[in-house]
Amino acid sequence: MGKLPTIAVCYIAAVDDSQLAERRGPTRMTDALPEYNIVDMRDRTPEDLSPSELEQLQDVEVAFILYMPDWLLAACPNLKWIHSFMTGHDHIPLPQLKERNIRLTNGAGTAAIEIAEFVIARVLEHWKSFPQIAALQVEHKWRPVFGRALSDAHIVLVGYGPINQQVARLLAPFDMRVTAVRRSATAPSPGANRVVAFADLNAAMHDADIVVAAVPSNDDTTGMFNAEKFAAMQKGCLFINVGRGTAVVEADLIASLESGHLGGAAVDVASEEPLPPDNALWNSPVRISAHCSATLPNTMRRVHELFFRNIAKFATGERFENEVDL
């Protein structure tokens, strides 16, 4: 084997080694790859780098990132491969990667199980009337509040990638009717009773009790869930978004809830993050969470394990897992 590549590690300072500790496998980069030269760029700026550190970046061939600052991309002229924690890549300058023949892999599927669990929790919270029950306890009122049965309810899973496939798997014991919505209606869709293409989304939602959106951010999905789509859902439908905030026209979502058409909504993502204090979502009926449906230790363990498998493939020239077609 020839000279091993230098790896630049760049992710948010809030994610430190203590948070990544996990008994079931190595997650610390230096522990797992002791023979590699690791350049730690977490929370760094070009202004606080020494000349020797800037010179080190000249040798970087691999970047392990949550985000890719323009300055870091420019400072790594020999960069050959970027591995992003995230599934989406709207935070990465794809045209520059294509121009420089830099390969890109992502973390698709690494957080799917935990995000699916979060979806199930939101479904049960709403379906079993937990907020109303909790409110009655605060008021010291003994009043039965009966939830609804999930059996035979219809759930429409929009974007049938790893997240919604896990949602379908976890829902199997509830005996629900599951419709998967994806680009191709002929694609294999385990766990779904029916598969439809995006073009037929409105028709698929007309009798939906629950709609779960888990779509990436791109030109096709931006503003996908607007007033027309919410009107196409049956009255009382629960809407959940764990994909990208840009897929939802938030003003239309709020309006549909306030009109009484939608029965409830929960979003773990927003069109602007962090959500500004004056954003209308804060004071709306929408249940919001701060992009935290994943579980950090488990997800990060899988992120690292995927990267470790791919770094071995990089060294031998094998095909990457989760490579993005640029």
Active site residue 177: no
AA identity, residue 50: S
Q: Report which DSSP code applies to 160.
A: -
Give the pairing type, strands 154-158 and 177-182.
parallel
Q: CB within 8 A of 186, min separation 6: which ones?
A: 195
Handedness of CA 170, 172, 174, 179 (dihedral sign): positive
Spatial distance between the Cα atoms of 96 and 94, rounded to a whole number of angstroms: 5
Handedness of CA 227, 229, 234, 237 (dihedral sign): negative
Could you tell me if 276 and 152 are in contact, meaning their C-beta atoms sit under 8 angstroms apart?
A: no
Neighbours of 8 (CB within 10 A): 27
Alpha-carbon distances of 145 from 83, 120, 150, 241, rounded to whole Å? 48, 20, 16, 26
Q: Check 83, 244, 301, 302 and give the catalytic one.
A: 244
Q: Check 291, 305, 309, 321 and give the catalytic one.
A: 291
b/e map 266-299, b = 16+ CB within 10 Å: bbbbbbeeebeeeeebeebebbbeebebbeeeeb
- Type and span of the H or E element at 251: helix 250-258
Give 212's Cβ-side CA count (13 Å radius).
Answer: 27
Phi, psi of 182 (to 5 degrees): -150, 175
Q: Check 99, 228, 258, 273 and give the catalytic one.
A: 273
Active site residue 194: no
Spatial distance between the Cα atoms of 231 and 216, rounded to a whole number of angstroms: 22
Active site residue 83: no
Hey, is 174 helix, strand or coil? helix
Q: Which residues are catalytic?
A: 244, 273, 291
